[in-house]
Chains A and B, each alone.
Chain A
Amino acid sequence: MVSLTTCINNLELKNPFILASGIMDEDAGSMKRILQEDAAAVVTKSIGLHERNGHSNPTFLELEHGLLNAMGLPNPGIDSYGSEIKKINNDNGKIIGSIFGSNVEEFEILSEKMQNYGVNALELNLSCPHAKGYGLEIGQDPEEINKIVRAVKQSVSIPIFVKLSPNVNDICMLAKAAEQGGADAIVAINTVKAMKIDIETKRPILANKIGGYSGKAIKPIGIRNVYEIFEAIKIPIIGVGGITKGEDVIEYIMAGASAVQVGSGIYYNGIQIFTQLKEQVIKWMTQNNYQNIKELIGVAHK
């Protein structure tokens, strides 16, 4: 029997597959549906203090090798979101609450509320590439990251994950700052800043002009980031970016990830992707004589 159970510090997961933030996680119903698939956990949409519509449409389009989005952190505000989380029964899997704020105080308030709603862990979005004043705009500065994580750590008792952006000079420095602040894990990567111009109408298609690139094209970027972060820190890493098949999961784990998140994969394969990944990973491990997925974490570091 192959064992897929994995651990992010003390958060036990029945397998390494987690739904990434921002994909089918705006309401309880959709997260419940994903948890009925073979996902061990779901990350909520990133939630802020106040209601936000996000950017105008077009907010999404497909490119040759990936997806481009500029949703712009739409969310109903933390106070409205509690009822969604409370409706999800944690029996099927874990819930990770993603939050975004513009300063330390906002992150403190949001993290306490999320914890009270009953989430099993927090994910701090310090990496959204297309929302003014949030995400990446405050997630490039190691000192700011350190301050935010430290403050959240003091406010809550559940594990804290920090989601980082690849749109920076040195992601390892940021990962270290998060680790020193008391983070329990690093999530890498958020989307890659990108743009699509329509040459007939001669304008960027996204209303926000700039968006975040996800899906197949960004997998090598995610792998490289996870690989480098693994050498820089001791806390676990959750790998995200471009996963659509079992081999991609194995690759992220070999690079140093203890678990992975899947977002755009749902676009390519549908929500059955979690079941497909599970079957494909088990098959690969069986063929290659591995019993325990944990044996594979970081083996590419030679």
Chain B
Amino acid sequence: MNQPEIVKIESIQNETDSIKTITFFYKLETIPGQFFMIWIPGIDEIPMSVSNINNDNKAITFRVVGDATKSLFNLKKHDLIGIRGPYGNGFSFHGNHHLFIGGGTGIAMIAPAVESCLLRDEPVDVILGAKTKDELFFIKRLQKTDANVHIATDDGSKGYKGYTSKLTEKIIKEKQIDTIYTCGPELMMKSIFEICIKNNISLQASLERYMKCAVGICGQCCIGEGLRVCIEGPIFSDKQLLDISDFGVFNRNASGKKKNIQP
């Protein structure tokens, strides 16, 4: 039933100064790219992607940006939170050579996707990008796998100096990439989308919109011609994105009012 199931926090891991992973016991089958609604009793309920799937243990990894994420950050082991979901479509892997691109907190949901894709025994490259090296996380976790891990920072403090999109252009020249999977700031994903269209690479991008019901009725998260990010998304293909005029242009806040996100 779509109502919060109360779970105890099993463990908490610090990833950076402002990013933590919270692990809890939650049975329902979940695939990478799906998300939960996390109820912090008395505070808020917010969408969070699954960042680790280990049988009945699931995790979320989040950055502090406001009140809800701050309260989540301050919770202790054994504190109670409510979980409903998983929601949304999740990734579906296509092609032979896969490239994953996580920007900022987007890395959180890209990591389990990489791990799951590797089960196909096909070549996987992954770009982890952030403004600066202190904001990177999950590097060790992914370096332990068979994926080729590339790092990009805007300031060059670690790895390639520059945007993940620039590094993407470099990698697709060297390797025959069939599909790109990405989650990160929308403008980053828009640049990657343009690269994919130009180079005929298929794309799956994970979009974020303000969410309330997460079950497809309140209309809060609708984009394009009535696509619900909570149901038909959050992962959209290059073909779908071509018809979503909002992509990289605007989102809507809690009132439904449009907010320009163009540079």
Tell me how many residues of B have a C-beta within 8 Å of chain A: 38
Taking CB atoms, residues of chain B closer than 8 Å to A205 are 3-4, 39, 82
Interface positions, chain B 30-69, Cβ under 8 Å from A, are 37, 39, 41-42, 44-46
Digitize B1-27: 1 where CB-to-A-CB distance is under 8 Å, 0 elsewhere: 111101000000000000000000000
Nearest CB in chain B to that of A56: its residue: B44
* Given A51-B255, A74-B255: A31 touches B226 (CB 8 Å cut-off): yes
Contact mask B206-226 → A, CB, 8 Å, 1/0?
A: 000000111111111011111
A52 to B253, CA, bound (A): 10
Q: Are A45 and B41 in contact (CB under 8 A)?
A: no
Check A80–B257 contact: CB distance below 8 A. yes
Across the interface, name the chain B residue whose C-beta is closest to A20.
B217
Residue contact A24 to B222, C-beta cutoff 8 Å: yes
A51 to B257, CA, bound (A): 8
Question: Which of chain B's residues have a CB closer than 8 A to the CB of A62?
Answer: 1-3, 215
Given A23-B217, A24-B222, does the pair A29, B227 have CB atoms closer than 8 Å? Answer: yes
Is there contact, CB below 8 Å, between B218 and A60? yes
Contact A32 B226 (CB under 8 A): yes
Contact of A27 (CB < 8 Å), options: B6, B82, B252, B253:
B252
Q: Is the CB of A64 within 8 A of B255?
A: no
Q: Does B123 contact A (CB under 8 A)?
A: no
Chain A residues in 8 Å Cβ range of B225: 29, 32-33
Give the number of residue pairs across the A-B interface with Cβ within 8 Å.
130
Say whether chain B's binding surface is mostly helix, strand, loop, or mixed. loop
- The reply to whether B80 and A54 form a contact with Cβ atoms under 8 Å apart is no
B261 sits at the interface (CB 8 A): no
State A207–B164 Cα separation when bound (angstroms): 39
Given A24-B226, A61-B2, A54-B41 contact (CB < 8 Å): no
Complex CA gap A137/B122 in Å reads 62
List of A residues within 8 angstroms of B41 by Cβ: 198, 201, 203
Q: Which B238-263 residues have a C-beta within 8 angstroms of A?
A: 252-258
Known A27-B252, A29-B222, A53-B253; further 18 A-B contacts with Cβ < 8 A: A24-B222, A26-B219, A27-B222, A29-B224, A30-B219, A57-B37, A57-B45, A58-B4, A60-B213, A61-B3, A62-B2, A62-B215, A67-B217, A71-B218, A77-B255, A201-B41, A207-B44, A267-B215
Q: Which A-B residue pairs are the 4 nearest by beta carbons? A: A33-B226, A76-B257, A57-B45, A62-B2
A–B pairs, 19, beta carbons within 8 Å: A24-B216, A26-B218, A27-B222, A32-B226, A51-B257, A59-B218, A60-B2, A60-B212, A60-B213, A61-B84, A64-B1, A71-B212, A77-B257, A80-B257, A196-B3, A198-B6, A201-B82, A205-B3, A264-B217
